[in-house]
Amino acid sequence: MRFVTAIVFVFLSCGHAAAQVDKSNLTGIIRDASGAAIPEATITVTNKDTGAVRTEKSDASGFYRFTLIDRGSYRMQVERAGFKRFVQETVQLQTGETTTIDIALTIGELAESITVTS
């Protein structure tokens, strides 16, 4: 009987520990104005409170993903040669949620940028 009780306790503890994860996910697709995927775009997110920076690249289908990222307020920047830099000043990430932000880049030079504030 004690063995069964111990097994049940272990399974219940594992579920409780998983529920305490204090992380978020951020995903999306990078496209051009015509809707075509933009591979190899560099996506950088900077935590506005801590200054921590994470960078990812979009894949062949334009998809990007940040997993297990701390919750909080972030600044997001997307760059790809031949396109204007995209900046979103505030991206709010919540615990246990996946936030999706799809982005359409505009043809131009990186020196030019489009900034979104909300």
5 within some domain: no
DSSP sequence for 49-98 = TT--EEEEE--TTSEEEEEEEESEEEEEEEE-TTB-EEEEEEEEE-TT-E
75 within some domain: yes
Q: In the 8-state DSSP scheme, what is residue 102?
A: -
Nearest-angstrom CA–CA distance, 100 and 32: 17
What is the domain extent for residue 88? 22-116
Q: What is the pLDDT of residues 56-109, one digit of tens each?
A: 999 999 999 999 999 999 999 999 999 999 999 999 999 999 999 999 999 988
The CATH number that applies at residue 48 is: 2.60.40.10
57, 45 contact by CB (below 8 A): no
Number of domains in the chain: 1
Nearest-angstrom CA–CA distance, 64 and 22: 21
109 within some domain: yes
pTM above 0.85, yes or no: no
